[in-house]
Amino acid sequence: MHPPHLAFSHLKRRVSIERVLSARGVMSSLKQHRQRLIGPCPVHHGDHPQAFVVDRAKDLWHCFTRCRGGGDVVELVRRMDHCQYPEVARYLAALAQVSPTPARAKATAAVRVYQPYTRTLRLDPHAPLLAQKGIWAQTAQHFEAGAYAGPGFLQGCVAIRLHDPDGRPIGYAGRRLDPAQARQYGKWTFPPGLPKREILYGFHRITSRLHQGLAVVECPWGVMRLAQIGMPAVALLGIQLSPTQIRLLRQTPCIVLMLDGDPAGSAASRQIADTLNQYTRAPVRRIDLPQGLDPDDLDDVELARRLLPLLP
């Protein structure tokens, strides 16, 4: 690993503090005074209107209240996401759409950088798998999910549209329907290079309801099923929690974790709850499902019975 200043120099040239703040939707809370941006601190999430200052010419930031410090764009991302330098490098590289290190930049120049796929696919919301999961055709349509009949990596899949946290479509995930394929390659398939860690599935649909608390599940089916009974939910698309997901989950006052009822799910659930307790102020509650059951295996009454008492 390069010393941070070397590894980061090419990223800092490409990604400004303003670019990061804009990607995170905090530019609107900052006021512009000549070459400075001033506003509440997005690092410690304070509400003092002059705590946080960005010098755009020098591309440096400073927080005069709780953080009592500041630095460059690297330090900003490191502190906002509570992450290590390699993670910061990956994040900045994704924003700049380049490789995280200059050395690797040459070696992997041929590797494709993920380009959001924005075309809308024609999907059949009456797929038997969706009915089996208790998802109504109307819900599937709303979430842009359904059987895909075309060619490509989604061939023979139920496809589900994915969005970035701001609601911009970035492509589709596929749930393989052929049991043999699902066994061999896994149930889910994602576009090559998709920045999965930058996605919290369903987040953009519930931003106006964050104050109500949030259920966090593993997979999109749970999000759709909970939507049908009026409960805001998001899916991790796995059992790993990324810095971006932590940052998004910091915005809700209460989190209920309901991962799949398998050994991987329950181990992950404890670990994720610990991480969230450390980095968010929201009380984190866990629902451990019986062995072998996923949220979409429960009926509506059972889902509500387990979730309702835990949300504010």
Minimum CB distance to Zn ion, residue 31 (Å): 16
Q: Where does residue 243 rank: exposed (0-12), middle (13-18), buried (19+ CB within 10 A)?
A: buried
**What is the torsional sign of CA 18, 21, 27, 30?**
negative
What type of residue is 178?
A: D
Minimum CB distance to Zn ion, residue 5 (Å): 23
Task: Please tell me whether residue 237 binds Zn ion under the rule CB under 5 A.
Answer: no
CA angle 199, 203, 208 (to 5 degrees): 155
Minimum CB distance to Zn ion, residue 77 (Å): 14
Nearer to Zn ion (CB atom), residue 204 or residue 250: 250
**CA gap 122, 99 in Å, rounded:** 34
Q: Where does residue 298 rank: exposed (0-12), middle (13-18), buried (19+ CB within 10 A)?
A: buried
* Structure tokens belonging to residue 75: 């330090």
Task: Please tell me whether residue 41 binds Zn ion under the rule CB under 5 A.
Answer: yes
**CA gap 14, 83 in Å, rounded:** 20
Q: Looking only at residues 72 through 111 of this chain, which bind Zn ion when binding is defined by CB under 5 A? A: none
Task: Please tell me whether residue 63 binds Zn ion under the rule CB under 5 A.
Answer: yes
3-state secondary structure 116-145: CCCCCCCCECCCHHHHHCCCCHHHHHHCCE
CA angle 47, 92, 251 (to 5 degrees): 30
Task: Please tell me whether residue 187 binds Zn ion under the rule CB under 5 A.
Answer: no
Number of residues that bind Zn ion (CB under 5 A): 6
Nearer to Zn ion (CB atom), residue 80 or residue 227: 80
Nearer to Zn ion (CB atom), residue 44 or residue 56: 44
Q: Looking only at residues 202 through 231 of this chain, which bind Zn ion when binding is defined by CB under 5 A? A: none
Nearer to Zn ion (CB atom), residue 43 or residue 158: 43
Minimum CB distance to Zn ion, residue 53 (Å): 10
Count CB atoms within 10 A of the CB of residue 139.
18
Task: Please tell me whether residue 67 binds Zn ion under the rule CB under 5 A.
Answer: yes
Nearer to Zn ion (CB atom), residue 27 or residue 182: 27
Q: Looking only at residues 42 through 61 of this chain, which bind Zn ion when binding is defined by CB under 5 A? A: 43-44
Which of 40-48, 215-223, 228-236, 253-261 is the region at the interface with Zn ion (rule: CB under 5 A)? Answer: 40-48
Minimum CB distance to Zn ion, residue 50 (Å): 11
What residue ranges bind Zn ion (CB under 5 A)? 41, 43-44, 63, 66-67
